Structure 1
Amino acid sequence: MLKKILAAPSVQIALLSALILMGMLFSLTPWEHLENRYYDFWGHHFRSPQEQPIVIVAIDEKSIRELGDWPWPRSRIAEMVRFLTSQQAGAMGILPLYTQPDANPGLLAIEETQKLLGDREWKGDKQAARTFQGMLSKVEEQLDQDAQLIETVRRGRNVVLPIRFTKGPEAATERNKMSGMLALCSLDAAALAAGTAETPSAEAQTTHTFRHKPITMTGVWEPFEALATKASGLGHLNLDEDRDGLFRSMPLLMEYKDRLFPAMPLQLAIRQTGGDLQDLTVGRNFFGQPCLRIKYLEIATDDQYRLLMNYDAAWTKARTYSFVDVLQGSLDPAIFRDNIILIGATGEEMTPFYRIGPHASAALVEISANVLGRILSTARLSRPAWAQPLEIAALLYFAFFLMFAIPRMETRVGASILGIFLFTWFVIGVALLLGYGYRIKPFGPAALACGGFVLITAAGYARKWRHEVIDANKHLGLHYQGQGLLDMAYERFMKCPLQDGSVKLLLYNLGLDFERKRMFGKALTIYHHIGRYGPFKDIEQRSSRLESPDGTLPAPVNGGNGKPPLLLLDGDIKPTFGRYEILRELGRGSMGTIYLGRDPKINREVAIKTLKYAEVVSGDLDQVKARFFREAEAAGKLSHPNIVSIYDVGEEHDMAYIAMELLNGGNLTRFCAAEHLLPVHQALSIVADVAVALDYAHNQGVIHRDIKPANIMLLEDGRVKVTDFGIALVVDASRTGTGILLGTPNYMSPEQVAGQTLDGRSDLFSLGIVLYELLVGAKPFRGDTINQIIYAIMHEAHPPVSDSEKNIPPCCQAIIEKLLAKGLDERFDAAARLAEAIAACMNELPHAAPATVSEIDAKVDPAADPRGD
């Protein structure tokens, strides 16, 4: 049952949807690479920030060539700060990080010299010493790079210095105590979240604190204290690296020791607006998206305070000026007035470059300028809070469409409509990104749409293929069943699922056919197989009837002959041979039982002659089967009004059968008794018809070999039929032989008794015996044993018909004498000559109408069955 449920396409789509939804919620999607590439491509096409007051002073290759190798003396950075301050620049961000004071050997020597000159034990000229000290002080002032930088930072307007955070167990040991400047340039994380909640309730504070999860760091590198304390603020320069190694966002706030530290671009933006870090608040905008607010700026971020960024190379290049060009004063001073200045290295040999795209990288100062531009601009990139619900809604829409619409459509139509939906979905994503800067991730729903469609299509083709295979097995099974190949039909039907009611019906009908073929064990197996899937029709009753209490097939019930009955007791299932239904038993012959059958195709009654293999000694079975089918072969070649017609021949699992013409009449055996003799004229007419039939058979190369009264039928309409070619020999070189004794001893010819090669004259000898019996009412060759009869046939003369008390015409006596001659040359050379002789004899007799079978039967025992062997 579970397997059936899981195989349902709607269930598979639901499970696939749940799996993709879990991946989307927990960011565990195998298509994340595609999402990033999609964003990288379209994100870089997002419109540039509006004209923003941002200038990059680049420490580039040109500056290195003209001013010397990097790193430069700190006085050079101080010189730039002094120049920019003189040009009335706005906030300035210095990206080089100086964590330690400058260790200048010249300064150390001057300090030692000054200490020596100021020593009280100095014995030299005091005036000269003071003069020398003054000179050293001037040199010291010129050599003290840190002092120059510290002083210019102090005098500059809103100079922001960098800090850099690190993460990891080893980073936690770098600095255990937070400096005072770090504390001043940061915010209390808990107080910030609680103080900016929409409602001042404790519940709101808890919810807000839970939703905001800033990136937590464990170590920090900061400027040395003397420099840091002169800055107007500190800002970190950390970027957030994605799993693929690219940088697509900058955390505007990072947590360190339960305090939040702003990024340098955020610090510069705050300074540019004239605000203070303490004015910064966090909250959620109209769409429920996390955001930072300062003065008139509202900056949308994610729950980790990260701002999506994209690198605009053209916009960046337009705002970048070489350090040496700025320092030489060759640029228009208006470029710097009231603008935010970022000073940093852009040469690849001076600073690391960060990968911001599959084929693009940039220096940190350039990335910071782009982030600052997005902060100050209204054209920002963000992932709104409703982005994920929108993606989930699209996922559910595609799931609904796949489960309820696609299965009802043709594959091509469904693919077209689904393609339109996917195209629309991606267009919406691109429009939101390029038009409003909203990033959505379209590949989750798209993966469901594509994967689900492939799944449904594959399932549909598999189902169609399975149905085709099932239909093919059904049709092939029906074909085999129609041909009587029930075992092969069983194999085909068993490959079809029983959940299909039509398969149950096919198997049920096959079980009935097995019953008709008396293969009760196989029928029972089928009924048990059907029963495993619930009740069906009357299989329980049939199974109970076919099983005995100990689980075996029922014992045979018969008329006392010890043989199993062919017809079941209840008569509801009529056994069959091939396509013929068995109606009742007609009698038993020399080779098997004869049944009354019906051909259902043309509704014709036939006689079914059988040979049951169980009644044959196993060693003789092959010979008997060959003998039985030789009858069908011999008779099947004959088509004559006086020869019984053969319709069909076949073999069942336990017996062989021949379907032949049903004869309404009786054989001549009863007319060979003295008290039931036929008139001479009618007896001659019957023998003449048999002679005509034998002449036709002999000309076809068939010798009957067993002519006797039991094999000659007199029908109710007076016609004569020769039957039972069961021991006929087809005259063929491959079958001709000697030494084989077949036939009924009383009616054998001498050459047949001797086992010699036979021809048609042997049948004439046997027909002569039949004529003798019909006229005299006794056999011509008599004996108490078979050996005596055979001896009489071979050596003794038959009693003349004239010795009988019957009034037999002389012409009849002559015919019999010629038929019963011992020598072959003394007999008629062909059955046609016999027919001519009988015709001539009958012309000598007075004319008399032959008696009908009904008139004859009136003379015979009324209880006698008119249908014999």
Structure 2
Amino acid sequence: MLKRILTTPLIQIVLLTLLVLIAMVASFAPWTAVENRNFDFWAGRVGHPEDLPIAIVAIDDRSIEQFGGWPWPRSRIAELLNLLSENNAAAVGLCLLYTQPDRGEGLAVVQEMRRQLADPQWNGDRSTTARFDELLATLETRLDQDAILIEAVRRTRNAVLPLYVSMDAPADVESVDPSGLVIVNSLNPRVLPAVASGRQQEALRAIGAGFQGPPMGNRVIAPFANLAGKAGALGYLNLNEDDDGRIRHLPLLIACQGRLLPAFALQLALKSSGARLKDLAVGLDLFGQPHLNAGKIDLVADDAYRIPVIHDEDWTRQRRFSFSEIVNGEIDPVVFKDRIVLIGITAQPLARVFRMGLNDRSPEVEVMADALADILSPERISRPSWTRILEIGVVLYFATFLALVIPRVSLRLGAGILLIFLATWYAAAVGLLLGYGYKVEVMAPATLAVVGFLVLQLTVASRRMQAAQLEALTTQGLSYQGQGMLDMAHEKFMQCPVKDRSVKHLLYNLALDFERKRMFNKALDIYRHIRSAGTYRDVNKRIKRFAELDNTLVGGARGEKPLMMAGGDAKPTFGRYEILQELGRGGMGTVYLGRDPKINREVAIKTLEYAEVEPAELPDVKNRFFREAEAAGNLSHPNIVSIYDVGEEHDMAYIAMELLKGDNLTWVCIKGHLLPVPEVLAVMADVTAALDYAHTQGVIHRDIKPANIMRLEDGRVKVTDFSIAHVMDASQTRTGVVLGTPNYMSPEQVDGKRLDGRSDLFSLGIVFYEMLSGTKPFKGDSMSAVLYAIANSRPKPLTKVAEDIPPCVRTLVNKLLAKDRRKRYDSAADVAKAIDDCLKRL
């Protein structure tokens, strides 16, 4: 029942939709990687506006080559700052963190010398001392790199210095005392709105937005105090990589030490726009999405206070200036007037490099420039709260389409419509991104559509496969059942679901067939199997009857009717043949009159009853029996009985053959009933024709006798019973085995020698002799005496046992009965010719 419910298309789509929605809410969607790469591809085509006043001063490989290895003297950086300040840069962001003062030994020596000169106990000339102190003071000023840099920072308009927030610093690293520095350059967490109202929280949960809040840090790594104190602002350079190691978002705020620290790019944007950090207002929209506003800056962030960051390689390349080109005067510093300038290292391997976009690798300073551009740009990429509602709506739309439409249309039509919907959805998402900068995640609805469609098609295919399998099993089972192979039919039908009414019908009919074949235990098992899936027709009645049955035989003992009657309501069958009556019994079985229901033809069915054979001899006897069918079945001649079919039941084997109406020659071999010589010759001619054909086909009869030659009512003659005939195969030995009826064996057959067609001619000669005389040519009181006579004695001449036998007939019979087969006729064809010649003489 559960399996049937779970394979219902509606239930499958509902469950799949719930999984997709849960993945969206829980943010562990397996399609995130594909979603990110799709965003990288299209976001790279959005780009930054050309009119943004942003420039990058790169400490590149050329600059390192000119000014020497890093780190440089801090005065070198101060020189650039002074140039930018003199040319009225709107703001300067220095992406170089100096956490400790410069500890140059030269400066320390100079300062020690000036201290000694200032000592009252100094006995040197005052004028000389003053002059020397003046020179040392000048030298001290030049050697004091920190003072030069601090002064340059102080003079620079809106200088922003970096800091780092350690998200997981080792315990043995002491944090810098934030007294004044961090407090001035951070916000009180109270500026953030309450997490969300009750209704907002419900709305957040409904759309899967949640409320994460700013990331948490535990340690601030800032510039040394004297330098930081002269900066216009401080901001962190932290960048958070996604799981694939790429930068796609910038956290605007980080909570640390009880304060909210702003991003480096945010501080630059505030400074350049004339706003202050304390002017920054934070609010939540209806769905709890943060909005940050200060003056001209209005940012829509996600629940972790992040904004999307895209990399525009062409844009950054156009705004990148080499440090050496500026200092050398190759570039007029006036180009930086009213621009926001970011200074940082791009030379490799000194620069920190981050992966962005599809395949770009950007130095830290360029990433900060991209982030600043995204903050200042009026066409920035954002993800409004309504995008999640849109995505959920599209998910539900696809779910409805999959559940209600796909199961009712063809595969091709459903796939075509779904592809159109997917293309429309994808195009709409790309259009919103490129046209309006709205980031819409397309993969959740697309995943539902594709996976749902595949699941439905797999379900349909599975059902079709099950139906095809059921049809194949039932077809095979019916085929086997029609061929009488009930065990194989039973194996196929038992693989079918018995709860299916059509399967119950098939099983019921199979059980009836088992009844007809006297296999009551199997019939009972099938009836019980049917009942396990509920009542059906008279199954309970039949089970009760078989349970009470004590395996009583209606027949089966020797001389009695050997078939078991199933209460009289099921005709016995062998294979597909219905048994009508018994015709006679042989040495190894019974001959029945049967009917082939397919073509309504009566046949003779000869059986080999396994119960009549010793267990040790059964394999050999079965081989002999089926060898008869194989040998005779390949023979097609007017004077040979036709074999239609061969089969095996659980307790017997059978051969279905042509039903002959007439008598065998046994009656006409008795004195008083002998046929005239011409008729005898005519009968022998037909028999020799049959033997000639069989011998040319490589088959010898090995048991030619009057009982195996039928004279039909219409006068035709048929040779029957190839029960011990076999294919003449030179690769197999045929010696040492005595088979056949003793009175009609050939001498070589008695001796167990290898046989050929001339053995049948000797046996034919015995039948010929008996039909002419009414007596057998070789007699004896026992089988051994008969066999001895065949091998060693000459029969009485026909003239002494019969009257009026023409000479040609006597010659013919004598030659057939020659002990040495080399003296007999070479073939049955020669015998036929001799008979024909003899008939012409009569």
Length-normalised TM-score, structure 1: 0.71
Judge which range, 520-529 or 462-471, deviates more: 462-471
Q: Percent identity?
A: 43
Judge which range, 530-539 or 266-275, deviates more: 530-539
The residue aligned with 1:96 is: 96
Residues 482, 179 of structure 1: CA spacing in aligned structure 2 closer, same or farther, 3 A cutoff? same
The residue aligned with 1:150 is: 150
Residues 625, 312 of structure 1: CA spacing in aligned structure 2 closer, same or farther, 3 A cutoff? closer
Corresponding position: 1:700 with 2:701: no
Aligned-partner Cα distance in 2 for 1:542–1:80: 107
Amino acid of the structure 2 residue aligned with 1:740: P
Corresponding position: 1:506 with 2:503: no
Matches within 5 A, 1:291-690: 291-323=291-323, 326=326, 335-348=335-348, 350-402=350-402, 405-454=405-454, 457=457, 464=464, 467-498=467-498, 500-548=500-548, 554-557=551-554, 566=563, 568=565, 570-583=567-580, 598-601=595-598, 603=600, 612-615=609-612, 652-655=649-652, 656=654
Residues 597, 98 of structure 1: CA spacing in aligned structure 2 closer, same or farther, 3 A cutoff? closer
Q: Is the 8 A contact 1:737 1:757 kept in 2?
A: no
Residues 696, 448 of structure 1: CA spacing in aligned structure 2 closer, same or farther, 3 A cutoff? farther
Task: Tell me the alpha carbon deviations over residues 239-268 of structure 1, each in whole angstroms, 9 at most, x when there is no partner.
Answer: 112222222222111121232110121112
| Structure 1 position 234, deviation (Å) | 0.8
Residue 71 of structure 1: SS of its match in structure 2?
coil
The residue aligned with 1:826 is: 803
Task: Tell me the alpha carbon deviations over residues 817-853 of structure 1, each in whole angstroms, 9 at most, x when there is no partner.
Answer: xxxx9944337679x9xxxxxxxxxxxxxxxxxxxxx
Corresponding position: 1:232 with 2:232: yes
Judge which range, 643-652 or 70-79, deviates more: 643-652
Aligned-partner Cα distance in 2 for 1:432–1:690: 113
| Structure 1 position 299, deviation (Å) | 0.8
The residue aligned with 1:51 is: 51
Residues 25, 376 of structure 1: CA spacing in aligned structure 2 closer, same or farther, 3 A cutoff? same
Amino acid of the structure 2 residue aligned with 1:762: E
Q: Is the 8 A contact 2:607 2:655 kept in 1?
A: yes
The residue aligned with 1:679 is: none
Amino acid of the structure 1 residue aligned with 2:191: L
Q: Which runs of 5+ in 2 are unaligned?
A: 692-703, 729-733, 746-762, 790-797, 810-842
From 766, 769, 774, the equivalent of 1:758 is 766
The residue aligned with 2:759 is: none
Task: Tell me the alpha carbon deviations over residues 178-201 of structure 1, each in whole angstroms, 9 at most, x when there is no partner.
Answer: 332111211122x12236968999
Matches within 5 A, 1:726-805: 740-741=742-743, 758-763=766-771
The residue aligned with 1:251 is: 251
The residue aligned with 1:276 is: 276
Residues 690, 6 of structure 1: CA spacing in aligned structure 2 closer, same or farther, 3 A cutoff? farther
The residue aligned with 2:815 is: none
Residue 247 of structure 1: SS of its match in structure 2?
coil
The residue aligned with 2:215 is: 215
Residue 192 of structure 2: SS of its match in structure 1?
helix
Residues 475, 119 of structure 1: CA spacing in aligned structure 2 closer, same or farther, 3 A cutoff? same
Amino acid of the structure 1 residue aligned with 2:803: E
The residue aligned with 1:848 is: none
Residues matched between the structures, number? 752
The residue aligned with 1:853 is: none
- Radius of gyration: which is bigger? 1
Aligned-partner Cα distance in 2 for 1:321–1:761: 129
Aligned-partner Cα distance in 2 for 1:590–1:110: 136
Aligned-partner Cα distance in 2 for 1:419–1:326: 55
Residues 557, 177 of structure 1: CA spacing in aligned structure 2 closer, same or farther, 3 A cutoff? farther
Judge which range, 248-257 or 72-81, deviates more: 72-81
Aligned-partner Cα distance in 1 for 2:201–2:412: 57
Task: Tell me the alpha carbon deviations over residues 66-118 of structure 1, each in whole angstroms, 9 at most, x when there is no partner.
Answer: 66654343334334434433433323322222212222334323332332233
| Structure 1 position 410, deviation (Å) | 4.2
Aligned-partner Cα distance in 2 for 1:243–1:450: 25
Aligned-partner Cα distance in 2 for 1:197–1:148: 49
| Structure 1 position 408, deviation (Å) | 4.5
Q: Is the 8 A contact 1:690 1:721 kept in 2?
A: no
Q: Is the 8 A contact 1:645 1:660 kept in 2?
A: yes
Residues 318, 417 of structure 1: CA spacing in aligned structure 2 closer, same or farther, 3 A cutoff? same
| Structure 1 position 694, deviation (Å) | 10
Residues 760, 459 of structure 1: CA spacing in aligned structure 2 closer, same or farther, 3 A cutoff? farther
Q: Is the 8 A contact 1:706 1:766 kept in 2?
A: no
| Structure 1 position 52, deviation (Å) | 2.2
Residues 526, 829 of structure 1: CA spacing in aligned structure 2 closer, same or farther, 3 A cutoff? farther
The residue aligned with 1:186 is: 186
Aligned-partner Cα distance in 2 for 1:619–1:417: 72
Q: Is the 8 A contact 1:738 1:756 kept in 2?
A: no
Q: Is the 8 A contact 1:354 1:363 kept in 2?
A: yes
| Structure 1 position 165, deviation (Å) | 1.9
Amino acid of the structure 1 residue aligned with 2:149: L
Aligned-partner Cα distance in 2 for 1:196–1:2: 43
Matches within 5 A, 1:132-147: 132-147=132-147
Q: Alignment RMSD, CA only?
A: 5.4
Residues 599, 693 of structure 1: CA spacing in aligned structure 2 closer, same or farther, 3 A cutoff? farther
| Structure 1 position 19, deviation (Å) | 5.3
| Structure 1 position 575, deviation (Å) | 1.0
Aligned-partner Cα distance in 2 for 1:451–1:355: 31
Length-normalised TM-score, structure 2: 0.73
Aligned-partner Cα distance in 2 for 1:310–1:133: 56
Residues 765, 602 of structure 1: CA spacing in aligned structure 2 closer, same or farther, 3 A cutoff? farther
Amino acid of the structure 1 residue aligned with 2:255: E
Residue 248 of structure 2: SS of its match in structure 1?
strand
| Structure 1 position 46, deviation (Å) | 0.4
Residue 802 of structure 2: SS of its match in structure 1?
helix
Task: Tell me the alpha carbon deviations over residues 115-157 of structure 1, each in whole angstroms, 9 at most, x when there is no partner.
Answer: 2233333344556545554554444344433233333433443
Aligned-partner Cα distance in 2 for 1:212–1:359: 30
| Structure 1 position 300, deviation (Å) | 1.7
